[in-house]
Amino acid sequence: MPGVWIDARDKFMVGEGHMRVMVASTWPLVEVGGPEIDQGALLRLLAEMVWFPTAFLDSQHVSWMPRDPASAEAKLSVYGRDVFAVFHFGQDGLPQRITAHRYRDVDGRGVLTPWSGEMRNFRAQDGLLVAHEVEVSWQLESGAFPYARFSLERIEFDRPEPF
């Protein structure tokens, strides 16, 4: 609906995911948690590491398995939970796409569904190459269903004050 503001928060803290969707930052539409949300939030975290790429080097939580010359499977392990996704790399060695199976709500129940994220417009930021455009989609039988587009205007690393 034009003119209606929708807020969504998808978080993963202390081993648990939680999603809240609100109209005008006031009226809740969705408030959910549980194993499917845990998995989805952790996959989102893995995908968002393109915004803080040194996290990919954390061998305590991230491991890699090569698949072919242009892709590798990443495993993120946090609080006893594991998620897996395949990163597809361009000729420049930068991640262009991530694919995984993520839970999607279908009539009130979680259904594992092919999911992807496209990363574009990498720019140098504090010595790191960071994706400044990301689009995420469900891969449905009818085709790709993009549901979120992100455009990074500014990113700051290692800020000493809390946000």
Q: Domain boundaries in the chain?
A: 6-151
Mean pLDDT taken over the chain? 92
Tens digits of per-residue pLDDT, 115-138?
Answer: 999 999 999 988 899 999 999 999
**Stated pTM of the model:** 0.88
Task: Name residues whose C-beta falls within 8 Å of residue 143's C-beta, 6 or more positions apart in sequence.
Answer: none
Enter the DSSP assignment of 144: E
E strand residue ranges, 14-70: 16-23, 27-33, 62-68
Strands 71-78, 95-106: pairing is unpaired
- In terms of C-beta density within 10 A (0-12 exposed, 13-18 middle, 19 or more buried), how is residue 161 classed? exposed
Tens digits of per-residue pLDDT, 59-111?
Answer: 999 999 999 999 999 999 999 999 999 999 999 999 999 999 999 989 988 99
